[in-house]
Amino acid sequence: MAINWTEAQIEEVVASVIKSLGGAPKETGSWDATQYHGRKLIGIFEKMEDAIDAATAGYKAIRAMSLEEREKVIAAVRDLCRKEASVMAELGVAETGMGRAAHKTAKHLLVADKTPGTADIVSQVKTGDYGLTLTEMAPFGVVGSITPSTNPSETVLCNSIGMIAAGNGVVFNPHPNAIATSNYAVDLVNRASASAGGPKVLVASVVKPTLDTAQIMYRHPAIRLLVCTGGPGVVKSVLSSGKKAIGAGAGNPPVIVDDTADVRKAGKDIIDGCSFDNNLPCIAEKEVFAFANIADELIASMKENGAYQINLEQAARLADIVLVDSKNPETGIVKKIVSRECVGRDAAVLLKKIGVNVGDEVRCIICETDFEHPFVQNELMMPILPIVRVKNIDEAIDLAVKAEHGCRHTAHMHSKNIDNLTRFARAVETTIFVKNAPSYAGIGFGGEGHTTFTIAGPTGEGLTSARSYTRYRRCVMSDSFRII
């Protein structure tokens, strides 16, 4: 039996769901970051200084634990992450208004299953005429981690596993628009730690993260390493902090499809990747360069797989909505930035803004544009995919490299021509290069290799894991300990 609900009834149900999730009013940034369903979250502090002290105590406790004990804590984090994946996914969507709960659930399961633990920490030995030299990967101490709104709890959990495996304590300064979701994940790590014999507070966060609390974190002597996952502004700020920093910044991943590709599969793969969590992952397909002789077939395949094509006039109207003017207070220069009201929204919601009504079967909006179009040039982080026709591989590589803007983050290609694949990979110099698969294969989802939600292109750690959060220490034994 169909139920015909009025808008008022729907709003009432949404409000009651939001309330039951532990959140307060509907606008982002005003969620209760200290409790969930009346349960007080562990490891959440009013003051950043207190959070750092708690993480320092956590670091001291974990230093005293054996590797086996540390791995037990990590196993408990994985276990809770699996069990509460959908809770965090729903909370993330409700709090930020961005993404898709089913996809966020899948991302949490990926974190639980494929984030490396202590096995990632490997010692090296060199022996020779003068004895034995041992190199070990040691913790930094307390890591200060800045996390984004796009994968909030996923990043907190993935970073926590890696940083704890390396023997560190962690303090987070999460994105203010995703503070309830991020702090839920902080609490989860602490609950797991306590249940597995670890410290009650191993990782910590604050009630109200701001740029000021980030500055306190940068300057505090106990913080030995800063890890920043976010856009260009925040990466620049940590890299200017004067401390060792890992920066995982923005991208604008291009896709090339040449005329040797399995074009039907490429169309499906690209829409699967581009629409995953409404394009929030920084690795997701952002613009396509298709050989002109296969472009029609590619677009047809995309449409069969949930894409809705708009024309250039509609694209111009949509661009005026999803990109807004922003004035730099210091320089007075005005530039276009993405509207926070549109990032990570469903394709149907975005289409409605230009008067097109479609159902949830539409996963992605596609549009044929030229290279200069703002959809090509900007990292939109929403399911809008521009397609540019190109004559040949030279033009494809030239334009795709330019569209990536030197972020050296992620690029994709669908081709069976190994020369073309190799040429593009060499030219674009990205941290991740995915061939003939959806973008998420690059972070271990349907592809080989470990996962991470902190992809450090600017500072070179690449797909971070426990070893990225260590410092190398050498111990030399002169003239002894060789057994040959």
List interacting residues with ligand NAD (CB under 6 A): 146-151, 174-176, 211, 214, 229-231, 233-234, 237, 248-251, 282, 379, 453-455
Residue among 234 and 318 whose Cβ is closer to ligand NAD: 234
Name residue 261's amino acid: A
CB of 210 to ligand NAD, least distance (A): 8
Cβ atoms within 10 Å of 264's Cβ, excluding its own: 15
CB of 400 to ligand NAD, least distance (A): 17
Cα–Cα distance, 173 to 237 (Å, whole number): 13
CB of 284 to ligand NAD, least distance (A): 9
Please name the residue ranges forming H helices in 64-210.
67-83, 85-96, 101-114, 152-165, 179-195
Show the tokens assigned to 424. 């593009």
Residue closest to ligand NAD (Cβ): 230
Residue among 62 and 156 whose Cβ is closer to ligand NAD: 156
Cα–Cα distance, 166 to 59 (Å, whole number): 11
CB of 424 to ligand NAD, least distance (A): 20
CB of 242 to ligand NAD, least distance (A): 14
CB of 140 to ligand NAD, least distance (A): 19
Residue among 415 and 430 whose Cβ is closer to ligand NAD: 430
Cα–Cα distance, 225 to 382 (Å, whole number): 32
Name residue 348's amino acid: A
Residue 214 CB partners (closer than 8 Å, separation 6+): 146, 173, 234, 237
Cα–Cα distance, 219 to 243 (Å, whole number): 9
Residue among 147 and 278 whose Cβ is closer to ligand NAD: 147
CB of 203 to ligand NAD, least distance (A): 16
Q: Classify each residue of 205-231 as buried b or exposed e, where b means 16 or more C-beta atoms within 10 Å of its C-beta.
A: bbbebeeebbebbbebebbbbbbbbbb
Residue among 60 and 236 whose Cβ is closer to ligand NAD: 236
CB of 403 to ligand NAD, least distance (A): 14
Cα–Cα distance, 197 to 301 (Å, whole number): 53
22: left (phi over 0), alpha (psi -120 to 50) or beta: left
Residue among 267 and 457 whose Cβ is closer to ligand NAD: 457
Residue 125 CB partners (closer than 8 Å, separation 6+): 132, 133, 134, 135
Axis-axis angle for helices 67-83, 85-96 (nearest 10) = 60
Residue among 276 and 453 whose Cβ is closer to ligand NAD: 453
User: Which residue in the block uniquely carries the two structure tokens 């925040």?
Assistant: 234
CB of 177 to ligand NAD, least distance (A): 7
CB of 229 to ligand NAD, least distance (A): 5
> If DSSP states are collapsed to H, E and C, what string results for 402-471?
HHCCCCCCEEEEECCCHHHHHHHHHHHCCCEEEECCCHHHHHCCCCCCCCCCCEECCCCCEECCHHHHEE
The DSSP code for 283 is: T
Residue among 132 and 401 whose Cβ is closer to ligand NAD: 401
CB of 273 to ligand NAD, least distance (A): 15
Residue 484, classified by CB atoms within 10 Å of its CB into exposed (0-12), middle (13-18) or buried (19+), is: exposed
Residue among 218 and 308 whose Cβ is closer to ligand NAD: 218
Residue among 165 and 248 whose Cβ is closer to ligand NAD: 248
Axis-axis angle for helices 152-165, 101-114 (nearest 10) = 10
Residue among 127 and 339 whose Cβ is closer to ligand NAD: 339
3-state secondary structure of 363: coil
Helix (H) or strand (E) holding 63, with range, is: helix 48-63
